Homo-oligomer: A and B are copies of this chain.
Amino acid sequence: MILMELSARNQLKGKVTNVELGAVMANIKIEVSEPSVITAVITKESAERLGLTEGDDVCALIKSTEVIVGK
């Protein structure tokens, strides 16, 4: 557990709708505001350490330098 503020500006609250585990990585689906779904790929060990399961309230964090703009 951490209690701190992060420099990452983009913090989208949502609910886990699917967890798919591979050998090393895991694909997590997060519904952030219907009908938007965020896909997060994290390590399997992080998915297990967080105990991610459907219905969990989570936050998708994205550093602003990672965002591409399309127009």
Secondary structure dominating the interface of A = strand
Residues of B contacting A60 in the complex (Cβ-Cβ under 8 angstroms): 67-70
Contact bitstring A32-71, B, C-beta under 8 A = 1, else 0:
1100101111111111011110001111111111111111
How many copies the complex holds: the figure is 6
Contact bitstring A1-33, B, C-beta under 8 A = 1, else 0:
111111111111000000011111111101011
A interface residues with partner B (beta carbon < 8 Å): 1-12, 20-28, 30, 32-33, 36, 38-47, 49-52, 56-71
**9 pairs from A and B in contact (CB 8 Å cutoff):** A1-B4, A5-B70, A6-B69, A6-B70, A9-B43, A22-B24, A33-B36, A41-B65, A62-B62
